[in-house]
Structure 1
């Protein structure tokens, strides 16, 4: 059994310590992207201890200095969420996310775009920038991030933080649903019941974009 599969097997069985050790070994020694992604998900899901988070942070911070895009994202994520011993700091998070998007890390587009649109970092000195946030989410969505598509579609549908635009809402929610975002399917169903307009053009555009993204996935690995 391949090491990455062994790590996943331990994780599925709740053996988080063993999974962490396997993934860290692969990430540090083999620069394995799948192991790095697995560690990020463990981090996000709260399956790492404070000590493990600290070691992961040190590893990622060292890697980010070498220009590793996903390492930059991970450091930003830890500062945004205030994980383990790392104090929440939106300013630092934004700095790392801005660097990560230059490496076209899709998750960074989503997190940074949301911070700018929602203004979640305002109390720590990060100004709300709705226009830039929506732009980042749109780029991420059209490049293959289903979370970006779902987030932006929901924002356009609600019209709370950005001006309501039902056509854009339908387009992005459809794009997310086609990419198998579970919540997008439910929200899109409610949307279609609530809004009776003709969204054929938006559906066709989303479908074209989805297949364009899928074609690119065959050439490049996309997390």
Structure 2
């Protein structure tokens, strides 16, 4: 769930929730372009993926994030990567291009880019485009993202270890990553963790403690960045 502190962001969110997509787009776009507001950028991209933007708006958004990415804006890199990964509007799907932009986003400290890269490699999403599946590389990206603070990476990795479908099942690692994602506010991870605790009766206190310790480190680093 996104939290909007800025009054205009809150107005845009209200318009979005009421289905007034044009009004929401205009406010989010203005904040993204003029204030370089990261929450507005993510909101625009989510609107795009949820099918709330028309072709003209998608083209306008892509033109801006693509030009802005040349300035070293990590979230613009991330959004461009997402658009290429999904093939939005008139943008042809290209995992190769998406990977390039995700790697740029990582260099600009966008931790969720680790998760998207990890999924591409671990799940073999780009195999049809000639990029082979690489489970080891995918898990590395997901683990790095989780340790850096991506709750989605932690949730994804927790589910992978719990299911044991693509990688060897490991309940202890599953617990650790699900707790880490839950502490970061991932609601689905919390639900999965509750089910995990009901179905696995072992002693997972160490995994809970380790996850809490890592989450504390992540929060401390975020506070440090804000002070710099």
Regarding TM over 0.5, the answer is yes
Q: Partners in 2 of 1:88 and 1:126 — Cα distance?
A: 13
Pair 184,34 (structure 1): closer, same or farther in 2 beyond 3 Å: closer
Q: Partners in 2 of 1:182 and 1:137 — Cα distance?
A: 19
Deviation at residue 112 of structure 1 after TM alignment: 0.7
Aligned counterparts, 1:1-223, within 5 A? 2-220=7-225
RMSD value over aligned CA atoms?
A: 1.7
More deviation, 178-187/59-68: 178-187
Q: Partners in 1 of 2:195 and 2:13 — Cα distance?
A: 36
Structure 1 length-normalised TM: 0.92
Report how many aligned residue pairs link the two structures.
221
Deviation at residue 220 of structure 1 after TM alignment: 4.1
Q: Residue 203 of structure 2: SS of its match in structure 1?
A: coil
Q: Partners in 2 of 1:143 and 1:87 — Cα distance?
A: 31
Deviation at residue 64 of structure 1 after TM alignment: 1.1
Deviation at residue 122 of structure 1 after TM alignment: 0.6
Structure 1 residues without counterparts, runs of 5 or longer: none
Structure 2 residues without counterparts, runs of 5 or longer: 1-5
